[in-house]
Structures are given as structure tokens and as C-alpha cells.
Amino acid sequence: MTTWSLSSDFYLINNSSSAWFYGSKPAGFHVTGNFSLFTHIDPDPDNYGIVAWFGDDTAWYTTWLGVYYNTKPTAVILKDPWNFTVAFAANSVAMHPGSDGRFSVVRFTAPKDGNYSLDVTFTRVHSCASKSGAYIVYNNMTLWEISLFGIGDSKSFKSDDGGVSVRKNEHIDFIVGIGQDIIFNCDSTLARVDILLLNSTSTPVIPTGPSTNTSPTSENQTSEKNQTKVSVIIGSIGITLGLVICAILLYICYRNRNNKHNKQNISDNEVI
């Protein structure tokens, strides 16, 4: 089965892959808002090993709006300029909304029609964490939304056994917003997203040309036998009905003949 992992698949060069895209949505429109692609990736200025995708109007420690990644296979504690810390697990991805209320978005694009299993966890990792919101949106519909409160708060979502039915090139958005306190700072949130293609539902192409197979298949042989049986049954019924009709006609002729004979006898008696 085909799988995708936000952490394992993180792109360090190109933000236009066939599966994952990093960007934002405008404040107040996490469901239907237009998706804006982040344009550049920058390493953290203090060499912690953290990189982040930002938009044109964002850099490290400005609006904070971005998608962050720990390039190291070990946990990293990043200290910001205000002496607050962000705890990154090994090779983990974190998301942070913008100071203007814009949402941080990781978008998954389905490569084919199918049912996709989602296994997602959002965890608050900023030492000054208060409140933030996390969402999963598909086809302008919210599949799941939760609020996170305080450092270490973590909540998970798993789709049911049948997964989520998604058409090719449709999107599933994983989103972090400022939350109920309407305050953007200290909203760094780890996002673990694992996706599994349960089955492909693409319609197979059925050939319409003439078949090159001239030997009868078992299915054809069975069909021919069934047709023969039906023909025999219908023939038997036809013969039976024919015999019954003939018998009825013969009986009618016999009755008519007797009636004529009886009338002739009566007429002869009257003459005498």
C-alpha cells in the first residue's frame, strides 16, 4: 500500500511537489479561503538545524507564519529571541499561524481516486503556549477541528476503517490557527500527518474492439447450455399446448357431428 508522511516526505528545495504543499489561508477563512503557496525556505539564524517555509512577507521571528522542520534526527529545543522555547521532536514538522490571523496550512494532494486513511496528531510545543486551533478540511468541508490549551496539549484524529473518499487532484488541508484567545504568539504546534491509500477506485478501461480469443470460455459454455435447456423446455411446452388444442378441436367437431345427426333423426321421425 502507498503511504505518505509529512515528516518523512518534507521538501527542503521545492514547494511544488505532487503530494505536499506548504502555504497559508486568510484570517477567518480556514475552510473556503484561497490557498497561498509559501515561496522560500530559510534556516534558523542560530543554527539549531530548523528550517522554515515562509511567504514573501515573512522571515524568521517576524510574523511567524510558516511551516517549520527539524532537519536533525534528534530532538531540538529552539530558543526564540524572547527566551521562550519550542520543542521539536526528531525530524518533526511544526506549524505557526501569522500575527495577522492567517492560518498555517499543509496541503496534501491526492495522486489518484481512492479511499485514504488519515492518522493525524497536533501537539502544542511552545513554552508560552496558551490556545490554538487545529483543523482538517476536505472539499470545503471541515472533517475535524479542535482547540489546544497550553504546553504539551495533544489531540489526534484517525479516519474510520473505510478512510476518506478523495478524487484525483483534490486536496486535504491540515491547518493551525490562532485559537479562541485571538493571540498569535506562542502557537507553535507540531503536526504529525500519516496518510495511507487503502484502495484505488479508478474506473478500469474496458476494451471495445473485437475479441481475439476464439476458444469458448467456461462462462460461454455455461451460457450455451442454459440456452439449450430453455429451448428444450419451450419446445416441450409448445408440443403440449398443440396436443391440448387439437384435442379440444376434435371434441368440438365430434359434438357438432352428433348434434347434426340427432337433428336429422328428429326430422325423419316427423316426416313419418
Residue 90 identity (one-letter amino acid) = A
What is the tens place of the pLDDT at every residue in 35-69?
999 999 999 999 999 999 999 999 999 999 999 99
pTM of the model: 0.73
Task: State which H helix or E strand residue 270 sits in.
Answer: helix 218-271
* Continuous H helices in 59-130: none
Task: State which H helix or E strand residue 226 sits in.
Answer: helix 218-271
CA distance 209 to 180: 62
Mean pLDDT, consecutive 10-residue stretches, the chain (272 aa), reads 94 88 96 96 98 97 96 97 96 96 97 97 94 94 95 96 96 93 88 96 46 41 48 58 68 64 50 42
